[in-house]
Structure 1
Amino acid sequence: MARPLRAKLDLDALRHNYRLACECAPESRALAVLKANAYGHGALACARALEPLAPAFAVACIEEALELREGGIDKPIVLLEGFFEESELEIIAREGFWTTLHSDWQIEAVERSRLPGPINAWLKFDSGMHRLGFGTEDFVRHWRRLALSPKVCGVHLVTHFATADGVDMAYANHQLAEIEALRYRLEAEGYEVPCCLANSPATLALARARGQWHRPGLMLYGADPLERANPFSARLRPVMTLESEVIAVRSVEPGEPVGYGGRFIASRQTRIGVVACGYGDGYDRHAVDGTPVLVDGRRTAIAGKVSMDMLTVDLTDLPTADIGAKVTLWGRAEDGSQLSVDEVARHCDTISYTLLTGILPRVPRIVSVG
């Protein structure tokens, strides 16, 4: 019998979350972000599910974009990190990719290249993230330059928010003020300035940031990027359910340790269930005792350190749970009960992005539509 661990993917939930992103910003168009293998969910399967809905997609790099093209996806695809070598420009032009430009050398490469056709440029404005992009004066200079270039068939302003997921929105509002001042300046010179501003947090909670385009990423997969309550977040549906089974049960006497390092010490006679899932599958080794799991839809918790191929859970208060019991590490159990990947992430001192993208290839992805 096959090892019972699997990642079940609900593509109806994916489409629901995309429609929710569109509802958040009805005046804007939504790029569906599929970078990092669609946040661990399978980029091609997710692209095919969303292609009837999404006008364009976004990935990190050309390798990810080419995987989608080879899989039959013909919608525009934005390269969020742009290109890394000048030789990529011919492929970008040929395949109709839209590319971010964030460095002087990239713009110079575009201008000296011999392309089969002009490219769509997404010029990166550093509004305060201070990671990629141009400050105001360099951005204006490059915008003017690209607007006149026969190598370019359109220019967009793209930026990124550093704190839109937080409780304090002061810095996000500072970034918005910088963006609005820049747009006003360019529009005063007669330019149209289509923008792509909002990531998932800003899509959910920062109406002024949505622009002509927005780019939902994590929210498409049902995780909540916000640190504060939001009515849209409450409507997200998990796409991935990480599911396994109890493969062994044993009784441990009071005072006895469980697992590596003996971190968990039984305070009473304890039934320990062994689950087929570990850090070799991508489950976070930093999960503390008390990290929640569902066993046959009922909550219990991890007891002991996560091993490479197994983890252990406390079944003492679940007397009917035995070998073969269904274990939901996160997502939606068969009885409809749910365990948020965001809650699990907090117990691991990490974020849901890390957990979802960390599920390794040996875990089979099982696609369903509901």
Structure 2
Amino acid sequence: MGTGHLTIDLDALVANYKALAGMGSAEAAAVVKADGYGTGVSKTGRALMNAGARRFFVAVAEEGAALRQALGPNADICVFGGHMAGDTDMISDLGLVPMLNSLDQVLRHFEALPGHPFGIQLDTGMNRLGMEFSDWAAVADIALAQKPVLLMSHLACADEPDHPMNAHQLEEFRRMTDGTGVPRSLAATGGILLGPDYHFDMTRPGIGLYGGQPFNEARTVVQLDLPVIQTRSLEPGETVGYGNTWTAERPTTIATVSGGYADGITRHLSHKGALWHGDIPCPIRGRVSMDLIGVDITDLPEEPKALSLLNEHQGVDDIAGQTGTIGYEILTQLGLRYSRRYAGA
């Protein structure tokens, strides 16, 4: 097989969900936007539903349509992006629950779909989505009379437990929602780890489900193996890859593996990343190109058929740390050329 092979461990995904859900008494929804953070929402969504998740969050209505097809009628599917112009039929026909973010969305939803379930998203300081205090105060009585199913906000700095923004947003959320009698949600993965003060009625684990930080105890969900296409022996002074950016200083064996930035393997791994053969790291040599990567296998006891980029030794956050980004980006950029296998669940 000439393409990389992506294995998604559904048992690990379910274990991560149950661990995060078990950290408090709140209902645990599941965030499955961006095609289940790149893992494939049809399979992962069904596994999470079988594990007990009944409410799911997606970014936009189009993602909700794909999820509804996978899960059927018995899941609540909430849309972070709210009720956008042109989404009315989709929201109505598929039974999606928009998280209304603005006065315009409130008016659009109430006029187009009176009586259809909705939630409200409030801005407690992130300045991204949601109604600020003044807007919410202006419309709260009208909105609450229509019986929203959820009031929610989102923490900006939950991955930094000691950041003062966490306490500020908690206080602001309480100021905007105390006494409403409506179920509330503030915590995604990082917020869950901040403790029960942040849990309210529902939590929304996302990245932690898929093995990412800040959930340190998460089980590895994704493994990526890249087949070796060719090996070659280099003498000292020979170079590897575009631009001659790496030069051998000793007799070296280079494996050329199938994978590159067209597959979501960032070019920033050039010269600093490694692939693994079992427990042995093998350094990347030269530039990561569109379809191919050179890897130093000189010290291996045998010539491998494949090398692993993501595994129990090296997760998405390890690669993110090497390349100056975050694990979310590494995970959601996993390419479409990979063959995929779902294990467990």
Sort the TM-score into its range (normalised by shorter chain): over 0.9
Contact map agreement 2:320 2:330 (CA 8 A) in 1: yes
Q: Match for 2:133 among 133, 136, 141?
A: 136
Q: Which residue of 1 aligns with 2:54?
A: 55
Q: Which residue of 1 aligns with 2:69?
A: 70
Distance 1:134 1:72 in 2: 30
Helix, strand or coil for the counterpart of 1:98? strand
Q: CA deviation at 1:206?
A: 4.3
Contact map agreement 2:122 2:131 (CA 8 A) in 1: yes
Q: Match for 1:321 among 302, 305, 323?
A: 302
Unaligned runs of 5+ in 1: 227-232, 333-337
Helix, strand or coil for the counterpart of 1:106? helix
AA aligned to 1:194 is P
Q: Which residue of 2 aligns with 1:46?
A: 44
Distance 1:61 1:269 in 2: 53
Helix, strand or coil for the counterpart of 1:139? helix
AA aligned to 2:168 is H
Distance 1:183 1:280 in 2: 45
Q: CA deviation at 1:344?
A: 1.2
Unaligned runs of 5+ in 2: none
Contact map agreement 2:274 2:295 (CA 8 A) in 1: no
Contact map agreement 2:254 2:294 (CA 8 A) in 1: yes
Contact map agreement 2:2 2:229 (CA 8 A) in 1: no
Distance 1:125 1:315 in 2: 53
Task: Tell me the alpha carbon deviations over residues 138-159 of structure 1, each in whole angstroms, 9 at most, x when there is no partner.
Answer: 113322111223xxx4342211
Task: Tell me the alpha carbon deviations over residues 153-206 of structure 1, each in whole angstroms, 9 at most, x when there is no partner.
Answer: 43422111111113641111111121122233xx1xxx3132111111112234
AA aligned to 2:128 is R
Distance 1:171 1:55 in 2: 30
Does 2:331 correspond to 1:342? no
Helix, strand or coil for the counterpart of 2:282? strand
Q: Which residue of 2 aligns with 1:229?
A: none
Contact map agreement 1:288 1:348 (CA 8 A) in 2: no
Aligned pairs, number = 343
Q: Which residue of 2 aligns with 1:285?
A: 267
- Normalising to structure 1: TM-score of the pair? 0.87
Task: Tell me the alpha carbon deviations over residues 264-321 of structure 1, each in whole angstroms, 9 at most, x when there is no partner.
Answer: 2223222211111111111111113131321234222211110111111111222x23
AA aligned to 2:282 is T
Task: Tell me the alpha carbon deviations over residues 58-97 of structure 1, each in whole angstroms, 9 at most, x when there is no partner.
Answer: 1111111111222343200010111221x42343234332
Contact map agreement 1:143 1:155 (CA 8 A) in 2: no
Distance 1:34 1:121 in 2: 19
Within 5 A, what are the aligned runs for 1:1-370?
A: 2-24=1-23, 26-52=24-50, 53-74=52-73, 75-85=75-85, 87-115=86-114, 118-149=115-146, 153-166=147-160, 168-184=162-178, 187=179, 191-224=180-213, 226=214, 233-318=215-300, 320-324=301-305, 326-332=306-312, 338-369=313-344
Per mean C-alpha deviation after superposition, the further-off stretch among 291-300 and 120-129 is 291-300
Task: Tell me the alpha carbon deviations over residues 220-277 of structure 1, each in whole angstroms, 9 at most, x when there is no partner.
Answer: 11111x3xxxxxx332112111112222222222233211112222232222111111
Distance 2:112 2:3 in 1: 52
AA aligned to 1:60 is A
Contact map agreement 2:83 2:109 (CA 8 A) in 1: no
- Normalising to structure 2: TM-score of the pair? 0.93
Contact map agreement 2:256 2:292 (CA 8 A) in 1: yes
Distance 1:289 1:136, change over 3 A: same
Contact map agreement 1:47 1:73 (CA 8 A) in 2: no
AA aligned to 1:80 is F
Q: List 4+ stretches of structure 1 deviating above 6 A.
A: none
Q: Which residue of 2 aligns with 1:230?
A: none
Contact map agreement 1:102 1:134 (CA 8 A) in 2: yes
RMSD: 1.8
Distance 1:208 1:196 in 2: 11
Distance 1:331 1:83, change over 3 A: farther
Distance 2:99 2:335 in 1: 29
Helix, strand or coil for the counterpart of 2:125? coil
AA aligned to 2:283 is A
Distance 1:167 1:304 in 2: 38
Per mean C-alpha deviation after superposition, the further-off stretch among 120-129 and 295-304 is 295-304
Q: Percent identity?
A: 32
Per mean C-alpha deviation after superposition, the further-off stretch among 104-113 and 244-253 is 244-253
Distance 1:114 1:308 in 2: 47
Contact map agreement 1:83 1:89 (CA 8 A) in 2: yes
AA aligned to 1:211 is F
Contact map agreement 1:4 1:244 (CA 8 A) in 2: yes
